């Protein structure tokens, strides 16, 4: 891969501050693309004990088979696996057997079976950002209104007020602690009694999730192919945030899907191939250089 100095030699120019910034961004993009496959393969759904910043996938039945049990799945780090994803992850984890044993063979068509995803960097107001996520950075899902994985199809979460964001963080942290108490080392999952402590059921009452006036959940009334969850990152601070954003307003990170056999996937917005990104950067630099020379000749 060409570095900054190689590109400068190729074009026989000294870049302006703007072009230097563009080069750094392009180099960062290419590096992420080059290592993405290895990082995702090594990290996704690999955590058994909950670690700050992990995403938790939760299921609950409001009645019938499995209504006394919540299935919680640790999907791994929100930032390095999902926020930084540059390609679709077709198989995050296969939980079909657990879904069938917990909620019955027809789990994928039950309108009373709900699922959602949450995560938090930390509930504390003190601490440094980790991989660009400041403390109390919340991750929350919303069901897509029209199923179109990888493309935002829901209204972004808005959580005004630091107290509200702290309440959400504390609620997610409570669920995480209960997950650890019941987690299974082999499968990165936990089966929680739905009414004991901080569970998926106690944090989701239908119209409200994790103290929010809104729900993180979708359901399977239209089948597994008829439900998908957009994931949003909600900043509590911009101090150390990378990428940055607007405090309290969710940024779309991608879409969780699940097949009727229980395979969870994650879809992201398409990004340029490495070669195309490099060519685009070279093209923009050439245009800027020509414009600069034209101005100098005119002067």
**What residues does each domain of the chain span?**
14-43+273-299, 47-267
> Residue 261's CB: how many other CB atoms inside 10 A?
13
78 closest CA partner among 29, 28, 133, 144: 133
Looking at residue 32, what is its pLDDT? 42
Q: Which of 15-19, 46-50, 108-112, 205-209 shows the lowest mean pLDDT across its residues?
A: 15-19
Mean of per-residue pLDDT scores for the chain: 82
Looking at residue 29, what is its pLDDT? 43
CA–CA dist 2, 22 (Å, integer): 14
Average pLDDT for 166-181: 97
Looking at residue 130, what is its pLDDT? 97
- For the chain, strand residue ranges (E) read 54-61, 69-77, 89-94, 113-120, 138-143, 183-184, 189-193, 218-219, 229-234, 251-258, 263-267
Looking at residue 271, what is its pLDDT? 60
Q: Which of 5-19, 164-178, 273-287 shows the lowest mean pLDDT across its residues?
A: 5-19
pTM of the model: 0.78
205 closest CA partner among 144, 140, 116: 116
Q: What are phi and psi of 95, to 5 degrees?
A: -120, 20
Q: Which of 77-86, 146-155, 263-272, 287-296 shows the lowest mean pLDDT across its residues?
A: 287-296
Looking at residue 34, what is its pLDDT? 36
Q: What percent of the chain has pLDDT over 70?
A: 74
Looking at residue 19, what is its pLDDT? 37
267, pLDDT greater than 90: yes
253, pLDDT greater than 50: yes
CA–CA dist 153, 144 (Å, integer): 5
Q: DSSP assignment of 88-153, as one string?
A: -EEEEEE-HHHHHHHH-TTGGG-TTEEEEEEEES-S-S-S--BTTB-TT-EEEEEE-SS--TTS--
Band (246; pLDDT cuts 50, 70, 90): very high
Q: Which of 122-131, 139-148, 215-224, 270-279 shows the lowest mean pLDDT across its residues?
A: 270-279
Band (257; pLDDT cuts 50, 70, 90): very high
For residue 247, the Cα-to-chain-centroid distance in whole angstroms is 17
Per-residue pLDDT tens over the stretch 216-228: 999 999 999 999 9
Average pLDDT for 183-191: 84
């Amino acid at each position: 891969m060409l570095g900054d100095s190689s590109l400068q030699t190729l074009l026989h120019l000294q870049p302006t501050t703007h072009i230097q910034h563009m080069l750094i961004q392009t180099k960062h993009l290419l590096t992420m693309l080059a290592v993405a496959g290895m990082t995702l393969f090594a990290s996704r759904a690999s955590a058994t004990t909950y670690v700050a910043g992990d995403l938790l996938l939760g299921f609950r039945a409001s009645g019938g088979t499995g209504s006394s049990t919540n299935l919680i799945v640790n999907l791994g780090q929100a930032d390095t696996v999902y926020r930084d994803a540059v390609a679709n992850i077709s198989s995050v984890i296969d939980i079909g057997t657990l879904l069938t044993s917990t909620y019955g063979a027809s789990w994928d068509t039950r309108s009373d079976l709900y699922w959602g995803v949450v995560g938090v960097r930390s509930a504390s107001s003190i601490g440094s950002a980790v991989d660009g996520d400041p403390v109390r950075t919340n991750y929350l899902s919303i069901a897509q209104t029209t199923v179109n994985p990888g493309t935002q199809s829901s209204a972004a979460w808005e959580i005004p007020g630091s107290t509200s964001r702290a309440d959400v963080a504390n609620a997610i942290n409570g669920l995480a602690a209960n997950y650890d108490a019941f987690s299974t080392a082999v499968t990165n999952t936990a089966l929680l009694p739905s009414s004991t402590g901080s569970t998926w059921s106690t944090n989701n009452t239908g119209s409200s999730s994790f103290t929010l006036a809104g729900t993180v959940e979708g359901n399977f009334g239209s089948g597994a192919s008829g439900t998908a969850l957009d994931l949003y990152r909600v900043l509590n601070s911009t101090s150390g945030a990378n990428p940055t954003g607007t405090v309290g307003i969710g940024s779309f990170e991608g879409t969780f899907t699940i097949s009727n056999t229980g395979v969870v996937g994650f879809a992201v917005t398409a990004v340029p191939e490495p070669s195309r990104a490099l060519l685009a950067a070279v093209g923009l630099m050439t245009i800027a250089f020509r414009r600069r020379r034209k101005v100098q000749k005119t002067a």
